[in-house]
Structure 1
Amino acid sequence: MARIAGVNIPTNKRVEIGLRYIYGIGPSKAHSICKQLSIPDDRRVNQLSDDEILKIRELIDSEYQVEGDLRREVSMNIKRLVDLGCYRGLRHRRGLPVRGQRTHTNARTRKGKAVAIAGKKKVTR
């Protein structure tokens, strides 16, 4: 099992897919890494030599911000917004959608499970 940037890469997957297990590397970055190091598309992680794994590790360390450093930067950016008290910071603080989505319906991922309001009954005449 290859270990890159502190993450165990699954051995039976293609290299381009396996690199996506690293936080901060998506489809386009994984493809460009394979292109730069001239790794074939059909190569699996368990078929990589130690030299190729070392090259991938060095390239990621030098050119990309991944895992802990990236997570830290993202959380610091959110903390800065919250401390400023700007609109986006307030939305983060309250756990509501930040980018203008509607909240009258939906937004359950951010708001959590819906809570029923007790004692609300229809008025009958």
Structure 2
Amino acid sequence: MDDEEIKYFVRIRNTDLDGTKTVQIALTGINGIGHHTSRTITALAGVDPHAVLGKLDDESIRRISDAVETYTTQVPEWMVNRPKDVYTGEKRHLLGTDLSLAIEDDINRMRKMRCYRGIRHETGQKVRGQRTKSTGRTGMTVGVRRKKI
């Protein structure tokens, strides 16, 4: 294929991916897919991870799309982003808006049960045990006022 025949946008999982990038890098444009997951998806689809996404034929793109959809069933439990769902108890790998809605739902659930992390989220403080005495101070003035002569 020549450069004229490259697809500049490839649509997978309701996301427009950059066709000028390699398959492994382009797949990270989908929320919920990082470098490790994209490498696994290309291996499951049988596609070269270093091939340019826009130069692939429709069959390869379909295989990648199918691998993204069936990722949860083909990998072990520790490779998904929700190994045990709170409500169903099954392993799931959420992508795109499903992932952002699930994270928002988790935070709201923590706020509702008034656990430590939920209270920290509510008050806008650090959640993961970082120190707050000197770092994370936002909205304050910087510097010292000089005395008038």
The correspondence for 2:127, drawn from 90, 93, 98, is: 98
User: Which residue is equivalent to 1:41?
Assistant: 49
Q: In proportion to residue count, which structure has more helix?
A: 1
Q: When the two structures are superposed, what TM-score results if normalisation uses the length of structure 1?
A: 0.83
Q: Secondary structure at the match of 1:3?
A: strand
Q: When the two structures are superposed, what TM-score results if normalisation uses the length of structure 2?
A: 0.71
1:115 aligned onto 2:137:
no
The correspondence for 1:57, drawn from 65, 71, 82, is: 65
How far apart are 1:107 and its partner, in Å? 2.3
How far apart are 1:42 and its partner, in Å? 2.4
- The count of aligned residue pairs is 115
How far apart are 1:72 and its partner, in Å? 1.2
Structure 1 residue runs of 4 or more that deviate by more than 3 Å after TM superposition: none
Q: Deviations over 1:66-103 (max 9, x none)?
A: 00111111111111001111110000001111011011
Aligned residues of 2:44 and 2:67 also touching (Cα < 8 A): no
CA distance, structure 1, for counterparts of residue 12 and residue 123 of structure 2: 36
Q: Provide structure 2 residue ranges, at least 5 long, that are not aligned to the other structure.
A: 1-8, 72-92
How far apart are 1:44 and its partner, in Å? 0.3
Q: Secondary structure at the match of 1:60?
A: helix
User: Which residue is equivalent to 1:66?
Assistant: 95
Q: Which has the higher contact order (CA 8 A, sep 6+)?
A: 1
How far apart are 1:49 and its partner, in Å? 1.1
CA distance, structure 1, for counterparts of residue 135 and residue 52 of structure 2: 41
Identity rate, percent: 29
CA distance, structure 2, for counterparts of residue 116 and residue 82 of structure 1: 31
How far apart are 1:35 and its partner, in Å? 1.1
The correspondence for 1:19, drawn from 27, 42, 51, is: 27
The correspondence for 2:113, drawn from 64, 68, 84, is: 84
